[in-house]
Structure 1
Amino acid sequence: MCGRYCLDTPRAELQRVLKSWLRPDDSTWLNHYAPRDLIRPHEPVLALRREHGEDRFSHMLWGLLPGWVKDPLQAPRPINARAETIAEKASFRGPWRHHRCLLPSTAFYEKGHLIHRKDRQLFWLAGVWDRWIGPDGSEVESCCVITTQPNSLVAPLHDRMPVIIPEGLESIWLEPGDGAHRRALEPMLTPSPADRWDCKAVEPTAQNKSHQQLSLLD
């Protein structure tokens, strides 16, 4: 699973890396951006999504709340969706068809280890999102990370890893389309090659212990 990740890129560097997606009115969230070395479930996360033909960044809660849920306080809030069944499960099949997103990340955690690109550059976690609208018109936007089988680097730690979208294919991932288009996305739902990644043990903390407990739920 993916139960913890980080986005610790300094603001100026993040603005440079994401400049092709940024719009003039993105200054609002950029001014409030702070690097985070530990992002946990149910916290706000930065996500890129396409809506009404435009790619936009927004903050969403990590833990999917489907739009059809009647009582948001009683509904499960999954943080991960399995790639193998995402087109079938009720909570995910609608977002998979219409609401795919990307979560910028610089590393993810698994069983007391930090996994990052060898070049230390930002990468995109694949996700889906949804919008819940309450009777009073209030809105909650939320998302979850798609997981797949692990590569050889992650396999000794866990039987799942996040789907990572290859650089240059971001627009294809976000693009709406029919069933044929979604089938064309399926090769992206495979594990990223292990030779592109590094893994290092990190100091045990209360947060990492909590992460290990979450891993048992996936």
Structure 2
Amino acid sequence: MCGHYSLTTPIDQLLLRLKGPLPQGLAAHYAARPEIAAGEPVLIQRQEHGELQVGLALWGLLPEWQKQPLGSPRPIHARSETVAEKASFRGAWRHRRCLLPADGYREGRGSRCVWVSRRDRQPFWLAGLWDRWIGPDGSEVESCCVLTTRANGLVAPFHPRMPVILPDGLEDAWLQPADGAGLRALEPLLQPAEQGESWQAVPVRVGGRIPPTDRQLALFHS
């Protein structure tokens, strides 16, 4: 998965999906974000202390145990096949899974890039992990990454990987802390879903507008 996605869904529609308290000022200052890049603050749905809540986290995971945060790599992706084994991810995999609302994402290599979205422009969930790093002075950094899996038939012609997209209705199961059998029950959700005719992959020029304009979409479907 490339390090760009979009969230242009109007706030009134987005609030129908989000559960729990919102970050202060979010509703008043929410703005469409046509291209969200790695390292930027992103919106996440999570569960903590048994309560659903909405948070803001930097896209690039900083594990809670990291001693030297400034010089450490900040992965924006975690491979679903090895997430339970890697030290950077396994704690968050058990206890701090999250969801990132999106309505499109960029995928591809070199000049062969596409913008992947639902044809009806509705938002969907990117499955992710989050963590909270606390410094010696008590400062906190909340961060996240997106889980990836092998590409399905729609994305495979452009890139071998794609984000894990969680089907609607499984949010509570995904966010609930789990171990052992509970985690194994989540493994089928990490497989690439065949997205069929309800999804589209529209060619985009590197550096071009994301999401594509209505005119570009019309030309693609003509």
Q: Residue 64 in 1 paired to residue 67 in 2?
A: no
Q: 1:205 to 1:189 in 2, by over 3 A?
A: same
Contact 1:49 1:55 in 2 (8 A): yes
Q: Given that residues 126 and 146 in structure 2 are in contact (C-alpha distance below 8 angstroms), is that contact kept between their aligned partners in structure 1? A: yes
Contact 1:2 1:145 in 2 (8 A): no
- Taking structure 1 as the reference length, the TM-score comes to 0.89
Distance across 1 between alignment mates of 2:75 and 2:206 = 25
Pairing 1:204–2:206 present: yes
Alpha-carbon shift at residue 18 of structure 1 (Å): 2.3
| Structure-to-structure mapping, 1:1-218, within 5 angstroms | 1-15=1-15, 17-18=16-17, 21-23=19-21, 26=23, 28-111=25-108, 112-195=113-196, 196-205=198-207
Kept in 1, the 8 Å contact 2:164–2:191? The answer is yes
Q: Which has the higher helix share?
A: 1
Spell out, residue by residue over 1:75-99, the C-alpha distance to the aligned partner (whole angstroms, 9 max, x if none).
1100000000000001000100110
Give TM-score, length-normalised by structure 2: 0.88
Structure 2: gaps (5+ residues): 211-222
* CA RMSD after TM alignment: 1.6
Is 2:7–2:101's contact at 8 Å kept on the other side of the alignment? yes
Runs of 4+ aligned residues of structure 1 deviating over 2 Å after TM superposition are 25-28
Rounded to whole Å, the distance in 1 between the matches of 2:13 and 2:153 is 31
Contact 1:2–1:80 under 8 Å retained in 2: no
Matching residue's letter, 1:143? C
* CA distance 1:206–1:197, shift in 2 (3 Å): closer
1:33: Cα distance to partner? 1.3
